[in-house]
Structure 1
């Protein structure tokens, strides 16, 4: 385990959570996918994704694309204000 909480094991990279329990990174992506509204109303391509981990990158890209497209259709929030400044470095 590294100090950042990430690990690499024979099963691939993972995340260490409470009490040193490790969650494989693939499962973290599946949790993100399941939590998304897109998954809940999304294509039937998500059915059985646990059995086909090689499809996961394609489905995550589809999720990102659909989420971005949905966000671009909505107007900016009222608190949004355009600003510009010189960068100081």
Structure 2
């Protein structure tokens, strides 16, 4: 079975919507129905890509943190994504507090 050209777009929309909703309402405060609605996809399609809500979070961490680590440059700690995330988070907080 091959995916349609829009298949990757739907998956990306789901991840984008989930990222925004998790940031705004928290993981527990965001339902899969809300994610599907925000992504403009049927709920069944969301579950096709992500069988459970934790799978969405896992994909966000895996895909988005990998990109953040690549952009982190000197903040990245090879083989330690948690420390890399902490370093990036500290940098973001410092940058927000700077005049």
TM-score tier, shorter chain, comes to: 0.3 to 0.5
When the two structures are superposed, what TM-score results if normalisation uses the length of structure 1? 0.39
Which structure has more helix as a fraction of its residues? 2
Bigger relative CO (Cα 8 Å, ≥ 6 apart): 2
Which structure has more strand as a fraction of its residues? 1
